[in-house]
Amino acid sequence: MTSEETFGALDLHFADLVGRLSDRPCIELDLAALLVSRQRTGGHICLPLREIAGQPLPAVYRGLESAPEADDWIEKLQGTDVVGAPGEFKPLILDERGRLYLRRYWEYEKRLADIIRHA
């Protein structure tokens, strides 16, 4: 099974775009962008990096058969200019628990949490 058969065209294009936007493109960033897009397509708001670290991928992606180990993966992502911490204006947001979000969905979740807290 190839990655083109398993991952949607939108997910593959998003990973390519994020890689082109980054000042430090790397396979770990491409994979994270691909998987966070796939998660969103599947109805999930984030990609729990620590939960999927080291796990087999649904298909071989650019030579990778499994997700990188969590600490190394997170460090690589934090070293790019397209992954930010909560509150930063970056395409991808990585929170302190190792969850990766598309920025827009992180903002939705934060707004909802704020509304619930203040209700």
Helix (H, G, I), strand (E, B) or coil at 91: coil
What confidence score (pLDDT) does residue 2 get? Answer: 44
Identify the band that residue 5 occupies on the pLDDT scale cut at 50, 70 and 90: low
Centroid of chain to Cα 49: 8
How many helices (H) and strands (E) the chain has is answered by 6, 6
What confidence score (pLDDT) does residue 46 get? Answer: 96
**Residue 31 maps to which CATH number?**
1.10.10.1020
Q: What is the pLDDT of residues 64-89, one digit of tens each?
A: 999 999 999 999 999 999 999 999 99
What confidence score (pLDDT) does residue 4 get? Answer: 52
Range of the domain at 53: 3-118
20 has a pLDDT exceeding 90: yes
Whole-model pTM above 0.75? yes
Domain count, the chain: 1
Per-residue pLDDT averaged across 53-60, rounded? 92
Q: How far is the CA of 55 from the CAs of 25, 26, 48, in angstroms?
A: 22, 19, 12
